[in-house]
Amino acid sequence: MAPTQKIPVLVPGRLHPHAVERIGKEFELVALPAADPKLVTPQIAGTVRGMSSMTTVSAAFIDALPNLEIIANFGVGYDAVDARHAGSAGVMVTNTPDVLTEEVADTAIGLLLNAVRELPKAEGWLRAGRWASEGNYPLTRGTLRGRRVGIFGMGRIGLAIARRIEAFGLPVSYHNRRAVEGVAYAWYPTLVELAGAVDTLISVAPGGPSTEKAVDRTVLEALGPKGVFVNIGRGSTVDEDALAQALADGTILAAGLDVFRNEPNVPDALLECTNASLLPHVGSASVHTRKTMADLAVDNLVSWFTEGRPLTPVAETASVVPGARKQR
């Protein structure tokens, strides 16, 4: 029997089946339909020490679990988890960095090509029989040739996208709050300055208050009429009304979007934009990569309960150690 097998680990809502299976084998699996404090029974409150989730985890939910020590988030982006509150309550939060970086960067390039060269629309033309009945698909106004690419969020995935863009022979620049040491690409101190210097903006910035609606009308106007905007980061970083307007009135040329503010709901105004390529948040969604993410989420739990430290803690809880849980 694994030494961790008697430790109750909660899974609120849906989670990758491989993660659920491993938690069931290596811990005592406790399931809840949602991360709702009202669903926490005295039995769960009194026993649960670990959790793995891919849903919103509020401060109230953390407080409803007074014995909780660790939240293993399924995903590198953890804006859905109140990590600041977790840190102040002495609860560790982990995420799944690196194992999805290359997959998500591949998807970003796919979106960029879809948006610029209209590949989904060209395929639709063929499937509708229009190639045979009407002739060739119209030449695309967009091209990658001559483009200058700006990356909003030059972190792990941003760097992987930049490497791919370099292979296309295009110059790269970026905006982060701070210039990245050892990175030679041009850094712009503000997003609007970056947008003004490029015609292709790829956002891979995290969600949260510091990036809320960062891509707004001003940024899109700075990008200009040849502008292409790709978002593989989080929908909350974009003013979606302003984006739909900019696509409709020609302020920018096209967009490729994998993420939306209120998933899985996509605003009608964006659905109506024929110059936008829209994907249902599939950045990391291959069997291979999702399994590696599931393993890393569970490995964090195992490492915490056997070694007393996680593998990939998030910054807000980096100093949390076993026994740090504060009661409120």
**Residues assigned a catalytic role:** 234, 263, 281
Nearer to ligand 8YV, 93 or 100 (CB): 100
Q: How far is the CB of 300 from ligand NAP (least distance, A)?
A: 16
Q: Work out whether strand 92-94 and strand 254-257 pair parallel, antiparallel, or are unpaired.
A: unpaired
CA separation for the pair 30, 321 (Å, rounded): 23
The window from 12-20, 48-56, 135-143, 155-163 that contacts ligand NAP (CB under 6 A) reads 155-163
Which residue from 210, 262, 306, 319 is in contact with ligand NAP, where contact means CB under 6 A? 210
Contact of residue 312 among ligand NAP, ligand 8YV, none (CB under 5-8 Å per partner type): none
> How would you label 68-95 residue by residue, b for 16+ Cβ within 10 Å and e otherwise?
bbbbbbbbbbbbbbbbebbbbbbbbbbb
Query: Per-residue string for binding with ligand NAP, 12-51, x by CB under 6 A?
Result: ----------------------------------------
Nearer to ligand 8YV, 173 or 289 (CB): 289
Contact of residue 154 among ligand NAP, ligand 8YV, none (CB under 5-8 Å per partner type): ligand NAP
Which residue from 50, 142, 155, 256 is in contact with ligand NAP, where contact means CB under 6 A? 155
Contact between 26 and 302 (Cβ < 8 Å): yes
Asked if 206 touches ligand NAP (CB under 6 A), the answer is yes
CA separation for the pair 33, 50 (Å, rounded): 16
- The token pair at 114 is 């879809």
Q: How many residues bind ligand NAP (CB under 6 A)?
A: 29
Q: How far is the CB of 4 from ligand NAP (least distance, A)?
A: 28
- Is 184 exposed, middle or buried (CB count within 10 Å of its CB: 0-12, 13-18, 19+)? exposed
CA separation for the pair 215, 243 (Å, rounded): 8
Nearer to ligand 8YV, 157 or 195 (CB): 157
- Which of 25, 20, 21, 19 shows the shortest CA–CA distance to 7? 25
H or E element, residue 46? helix 42-47
Asked if 256 touches ligand NAP (CB under 6 A), the answer is no
CA separation for the pair 311, 288 (Å, rounded): 20
CA atoms within 13 A on the CB side of 245: 12
Asked if 100 touches ligand NAP (CB under 6 A), the answer is yes
The window from 8-16, 48-56, 173-181, 268-276 that contacts ligand NAP (CB under 6 A) reads 173-181
- The token pair at 234 is 């989080």
Asked if 76 touches ligand NAP (CB under 6 A), the answer is yes
The window from 238-246, 262-270, 280-288, 301-309 that contacts ligand NAP (CB under 6 A) reads 280-288
Which residue from 94, 114, 173, 284 is in contact with ligand NAP, where contact means CB under 6 A? 284
Asked if 70 touches ligand NAP (CB under 6 A), the answer is no
- Which of 218, 216, 184 shows the shortest CA–CA distance to 203? 216
- The token pair at 111 is 């979106």
Footprint on this chain of ligand NAP (rule: CB under 6 A):
76-77, 97, 100, 104, 153-158, 175-178, 204-207, 210-211, 232-234, 258-259, 281, 283-284
